[in-house]
Amino acid sequence: MPELQLLRPDHAPALLTFERENRAFFAASIPDRGDDYFARFEEVHRARLAEQADGICYFHVLVDAAGEVLGRVNLVDVADGGADLGYRIAERVTGRGLATWGVREVCRRAVDTYGLTTLRAAADLGNAASRAVLARTGFTVTGETRLSRGPGLTYQLRLQP
């Protein structure tokens, strides 16, 4: 398995490569980040690191032995013991359990390192893979929502210390 690392300044080049190489793949199931994201990537990266330093978000990258970013698993909008979970995995490594492993690892860190008690997530009804990851990692459906691409489900996980 790759290593889950908290986002650092030196991840920027590999992270930009990951986002560029997988842009079309991600855009097929979630909203595209847009050209501005890529044009201003260094600024965006610094802003993410500032949010992380302030404890508002915790951004993680799944990195292989060569330093290539294979995925992201993030906790955003951290407040009152909870956070929203989001993840994306490189197309070339999907279907290998990496998302499930990464989400489980972030859930462990959410309790042990960040002191969180609840995680929330949402998945498009058409994204069966993402819904399966959430189910495998213990999230339960809490309702329905409208996401940018259409109907979706909301999920929650109560974390155990």
Q: How far apart are CA 60 and CA 56, in angstroms?
A: 14
Per-residue confidence (pLDDT) for residue 99, from 0 to 100: 96
| Lowest mean pLDDT across 23-27, 92-96, 149-153 | 149-153
Domain spans, the chain: 3-158
Backbone angles phi, psi at 106, to 5 degrees: -70, -35
Q: Higher pLDDT residue, 127 or 63?
A: 63
pLDDT exceeds 80 at position 1: no
Which amino acid appears at position 28 of this protein? Answer: A
| Cβ neighbourhood burial of 35 (10 Å; 0-12, 13-18, 19+) | exposed
Reported as a pLDDT band with limits 50, 70 and 90, residue 130 is very high
Read off the pLDDT of each residue in 65-80 and give the average, rounded to a whole number.
Answer: 97
The fold adopted by the segment(s) 3-158 is Aminopeptidase (3.40.630)
Q: What percent of the chain has pLDDT over 90?
A: 87
> In this predicted model, what pLDDT tens digit does every residue of 53-63 receive, in sequence order?
999 999 999 99
Q: Residue 159 is encoded by which pair of tokens?
A: 């974390």
> What are the start-end ranges of the H helices in 5-155?
12-21, 23-27, 35-39, 41-53, 98-112, 128-136
| Cβ neighbourhood burial of 97 (10 Å; 0-12, 13-18, 19+) | middle
Per-residue confidence (pLDDT) for residue 29, from 0 to 100: 80
